[in-house]
A and B are shown apart, each in its own frame.
Chain A
Amino acid sequence: MPRPRVAIFDFAGCEGCQLQIVNLEEALLDLLRVVDVVEWREAMSEQSDVFDIAVVEGAITRLEDEERLKRIRQKAPVLVALGSCASSGGLNKLKNRMAMSEARRLVYGRDGGVSRLDTAPVKAVSEVVKVDYLVRGCPIDRREFSYVVRCLALGREPFIPGYPVCVECRIRENACRWQEGEICLGPLTRAGCGAACPAQGAACLGCRGTCDDANLEGMASVLAQYGKSREELESRLAVFLDPDGKGVSHA
């Protein structure tokens, strides 16, 4: 079986997910034996138009980016969304909470007429083109990325948990953030990160998106037992899980 050719592209984001690929360190050399990286602007000057797997990082914030993404999709037999920005729009979507007219007024009020600032509402990659696989997280988990790459090279479905972060969190015997007086979004968030945040004494912010059948109503009814306000919950949800303020989707 020839090595699949992989091209890595980026859109609006912090490039932290690409950095996680670099951070595979020695395993990056292993990865390069399994796949043939033919384009990766951040790390190399080589470029190519022919590839089997497109890995796309970043959210889509401009019409011209939508066009570029569609061109990539046309050439890509398989497309992988890398990280929260690509998977869900990530916290870039916080911008969508501000009415576009307000954004424009604030921006053009001082330095009007700069066309690059005329950004569209932020979209996830899957809101523009079909996505075959999602590697979630802000940033992605290196082990999960490696695992997905190996699955793709083998031609199998990767197993990505649909259950909440609490599963992994309890397995790691972390102190539960709720008991420490914080709002933790672990019960609503898809696992796979190994409960990275609670393991460091920080509450889960929901960067991997909602778990299957996330019970938002349940969460709202639990708040009072912990003396928390709905306002505070909504502020947390806004960062990653529910940036549009529409209620957590079950996607």
Chain B
Amino acid sequence: MEGTLDSPARTSGGGDIYLPRPATLLSVSAMTASDAFFELALDGPEDLGHLPGQFVEVSVPGMGEAPISVCSSPTRKGSFQMLVRRIGSVTQALHRKSPGDKVGIRGPFGTSFPMEGELKGKNLLFVAGGIGLAPLRSAIQYALDRRGDFGRIAILAGTRSAAERLFTGELLEWKRRNDLTLLETVDQPSPGWAGQVGLITGLFGMLRLEPGPWAALVCGPPVMYRFVLRELRRLQVPSREVHVSLERRMKCGVGKCGHCQINGLYVCQQGPVFRAGDLFDLKEAL
């Protein structure tokens, strides 16, 4: 069993679930001091075939593998995108890559935001803390590409400082659209930042949700969830309508290695996207 340029790899279905498929980086660009944005395509004719919220295992031979969310929407075919924060071996190695270089891809893995299912027709509230905007972006793009399928769209985004804001071009674009509401904040006042200052929970006060069926999609650092969920309760978004994407340590992505367990749940199988209501009984979850 081999996966090389000349002999297209088998997909995870029949062969070795640990064998990556080669992919080529189409573009690499720095987004902040520690985040870089990648566009890539699998070698060979196949599309990645992911759903919004799913992740892939990215390999850099010699460095290892890391789970990374696909941050682009499957509505945009041919290639896919990811946003990577430089924090360890694999992510550092990715930051050193240039267009044309190869990486290995396994997946897509995990659950997704049910954009084609129950979220259809609903109002969507996105809550993104820091790099949590990356997995949400695939769902935001999806909703914007199929704008007619959804009701109102509101996006709350927070970062620690203005310098850490991600996807600033797109944020500007979204800001200008009149079919969605974007509220942004940064934790600390930063030079050149004239917008809101304070924790993301502060944005909820500025939010006026019209009545209607709201669903929330939430992703951010571990400390954020408890406070955001409290605000969502206050806004009377039912917990079964709250979809959170969680991060855990993960080594295989396929439910074997045991690392990503939250109590009895596997983040790579029953997650990374969970319904908040399913997590309340789990002491380790939020």
Direct contact between A and B judged by beta carbons closer than 8 A: yes
* A interface residues (Cβ-Cβ under 8 A, vs B): 154-157
Binds A, one of B28-36, B89-97, B242-250: B89-97
What CA separation (Å) do A190 and B4 show in the bound complex?
Answer: 39
Closest residue of chain A to B90 (Cβ to Cβ) is A156
Residues from chain A with a CB closer than 8 A to the CB of B92 are 155-157
CA distance A155 to B62 in the complex (A): 10
CA separation between A194 and B96, bound complex, in Å? 33
**Max chain B Cβ within 10 angstroms of own Cβ: one of A154, A155, A156, A157:** A156
B contact residues around A157 at 8 Å (CB): 88-89, 92
Chain A contacts of B163 at CB under 8 A?
none
- Majority secondary structure of chain B interface residues (helix, strand, loop or mixed): loop
Please tell me if B257 contacts chain A, counting CB pairs below 8 Å: no
Chain B residues near A (Cβ < 8 Å): 62-63, 88-89, 92-93, 96
**Cα separation A155 to B95 with both chains bound (whole Å):** 12
Chain A residue contacts of B96, Cβ below 8 A = 155
Min distance, Cβ B96 to any Cβ of chain A, angstroms: 7
Shortest beta-carbon distance, A171 to chain B, in Å? Answer: 17
Q: How far is the CA of A46 from the CA of B88 in the complex (A)?
A: 36
13 sample A-B contacts, Cβ–Cβ < 8 Å, listed by A number = A154-B62, A154-B63, A155-B92, A155-B93, A155-B96, A156-B62, A156-B63, A156-B89, A156-B92, A156-B93, A157-B88, A157-B89, A157-B92
CB of A170, distance to nearest CB on chain B (Å): 18
Minimum CB distance partner of A157 in chain B: B89
Distance between B167 CB and nearest chain A CB, rounded to angstroms: 28
Smallest beta-carbon distance B91→chain A, Å? 11
Residue of A nearest to B88 (CB): A157
Known: A154-B63, A155-B92, A156-B92. 10 other contacts (CB 8 A): A154-B62, A155-B93, A155-B96, A156-B62, A156-B63, A156-B89, A156-B93, A157-B88, A157-B89, A157-B92
Instruction: Tell me which residues across on chain A come within 8 A of B63, comparing CB atoms.
Output: 154, 156
Q: How many angstroms between the C-alpha atoms of A201 and B254 in the bound complex? A: 40
A157 to B93, CA, bound (A): 10
